[in-house]
Each structure stands twice: as C-alpha cells, then as structure tokens.
Amino acid sequence: MNVLLSRKDTIRFLILSELMVNPECNQRDIARKLSLTPQAISEHFKEMVNEGLINVVHKGYYEVTRKGEEWMSRNLIDLHLFSEELLKKIYSKTVVAIARGRIKEGDMVRYWFGDGFIFAERSSKGNGTSLTSAEDGEDVLIKPTGSFEPPEKGEVIVVKIPDVTEGGSRRVDLDAFRELVKSRPTSIVVAIGIEALVSCRKIRVEPIFFGAKEVCIEAAHHGSGVIVACTEGRVNDLLRSLIEEGLEFEIKELAI
C-alpha cells in the first residue's frame, strides 16, 4: 500500500492518472491541479522519465509508458482490494431500506420492518441517518443511530389442495380461494405441487413455484405474510418444516 503510505508514490499515482485520463495535459496543468510548484512537479517528472514510467512527447508534454501502466495497475489492484474490504466493514453496519416519501442525504429517518421489507421515512425522532438521497419507493442507505425492533413472524396460511387422484384443482372452491388471496394483498403466494400451481392459475394468480417451501420460510421469518397452496400429499412435509422453524400457521380446507 505504498501509494497511500508514501507521499512520493501518491504524487506519482496522481500524475500518471492525469496523463492517462487527459493525455493532452502538460506539466503546468498538472502542477496547478495538484497544487504543486512548477519546480516540484518538474523534479517528479524527471525522476519518472529516468525510471521509464513516462516518455517525453515534446517539451512539457509526456505519455505513460508500458512500465508506467504496469505500475499503475499494481497499485490500482492494491487500492481496490483495500477499499473493497473497507467498504464491507462500513456497509456491514448499514441498512438498505425502501424510501417512504422523499429522503435527502443526511436526513434523520425512522426505519422499520413491514410486510417482509425494511422501509424508511423522514422523522425528527428517527433511529437512523440517511447516507444517500432517494425518491419515494427508491432504495436508500441508512446508518442506524438508535434501537430497531426486529420483525414479527409473518402470517402463514396453508391452503390444502386435493391430490389429482382426489380431483385436484377441480375440487377447490376457487371463489373462496380468490377471496382469501384478495383479503391479504401484501401476502406472497407460493405453490407446492402441480395441483396447487394449477389452482393458483385458475384464480389468475401466478405463484412462486420453484423453491416455494424455502421462500415461504424465509419470507415468514422476515415478517411477510404467506399464502401456501399445497397439494395434500406434501402438506405433512411442509408443516414439519414450519414447526421446526418455529413458525405458526393456519390451515384452510377449501375442497368442495
């Protein structure tokens, strides 16, 4: 990490950066931008020419050599790894939320769990500070400054769907199923088993199908309501998993 520990290497890094980004700049331009005297910048250029990091194009103008590019590449990789690790440490203590209303960087905000997601809004008695600006509905980065209530477990409703040998989707009270889904507009709908998938599609709902059980469990742990249409032959396996996870559930019988 010499580029950060050595003033000489830091200035070299900045000079090479300027030459690579703007090849038409000269010594005087760079000296002005880096707040260095012409004499000081001239000494740096002389050393870099002698070491083969840059070549003279004509008086006052230079280009970065292959050796200079390799030097930059090594230091950029070091800086990237260093900054990436630092950002992980910083962001591990932050929260990403969905903005409710407009939020400006630096605003005090209140953030909370709702329907499986974290939301944030401006509040003079908040529990966090906004690190980014966001419009309503956008993602916003929050630095916690106060306590935060963990989410309550989400409501899980298991709708038993007859196996195909017992009539499958044809034996489901579709009107009752449709009303159940409509009564919980923020709940996600998952389907376990083909009969369950078809039943959902009959009420014009496209459920989560692949990985449905895992989605149900994760969503409920995050406070989201879940309606699980589950083929009877797979209900016991689902209930066993819910009990092991400490999740409460309600079973609905909608067969006709």
**Based on the domain organization, do 48 and 64 belong to the same domain?**
yes
**Based on the domain organization, do 231 and 174 belong to the same domain?**
yes
DSSP letter at 53 equals S
- pLDDT above 60 for 90: no
**Based on the domain organization, do 103 and 126 belong to the same domain?**
yes
Domain harbouring 10, CATH code: 1.10.10.10
User: What's the mean pLDDT in 145-159?
Assistant: 87
Domain that holds residue 50: 2-90
Residue type, 24: E
- pLDDT above 80 for 88: no
**Based on the domain organization, do 68 and 106 belong to the same domain?**
no
- pLDDT above 90 for 172: yes
| Burial class, 142, CB count within 10 angstroms (exposed 0-12 / middle 13-18 / buried 19+) | buried
Cα angle, residue 139 at apex, residues 137 and 145 outer, rounded to 5°: 115
**Based on the domain organization, do 171 and 203 belong to the same domain?**
yes
**Based on the domain organization, do 122 and 57 belong to the same domain?**
no
In degrees and rounded to multiples of 5, residue 128 shows phi and psi of -165, 170
**Based on the domain organization, do 169 and 137 belong to the same domain?**
no
**Based on the domain organization, do 38 and 120 belong to the same domain?**
no
Cα separation of 129 and 131, whole Å?
6
- Domain assignment present for residue 151? The answer is no
The pLDDT value given to residue 61:
86
- pLDDT above 90 for 93: no
Q: Using one digit for the tens of pLDDT, what is the confidence trace for 28-70? A: 899 998 999 988 999 999 999 999 999 998 887 899 999 999 9
User: What's the mean pLDDT in 2-23?
Assistant: 87
Report residue 89's pLDDT band, with 50, 70 and 90 as the boundaries. Answer: low
Domain harbouring 186, CATH code: 3.40.50.11230
**Based on the domain organization, do 219 and 232 belong to the same domain?**
yes
Last residue of a domain, one of 74, 90, 106: 90
**Based on the domain organization, do 200 and 127 belong to the same domain?**
no
The total of structural domains in the chain comes to 3
- Domain assignment present for residue 138? The answer is yes
The pLDDT value given to residue 184:
95
Q: Using one digit for the tens of pLDDT, what is the confidence trace for 129-148? A: 999 999 999 999 999 988 77
Q: Using one digit for the tens of pLDDT, what is the confidence trace for 176-192? A: 999 999 999 999 999 99
This model's pTM is above 0.75: no
User: What's the mean pLDDT in 10-15?
Assistant: 92
**Based on the domain organization, do 197 and 239 belong to the same domain?**
yes
DSSP letter at 124 equals T
- pLDDT above 70 for 202: yes
- pLDDT above 70 for 231: yes
User: What's the mean pLDDT in 100-110?
Assistant: 96
- pLDDT above 60 for 92: no
Handedness of CA 18, 21, 23, 28 (dihedral sign): negative
The pLDDT value given to residue 79:
84
Q: What tokens appear for 204 in the block?
A: 């014009």
- Domain assignment present for residue 187? The answer is yes
The pLDDT value given to residue 44:
92
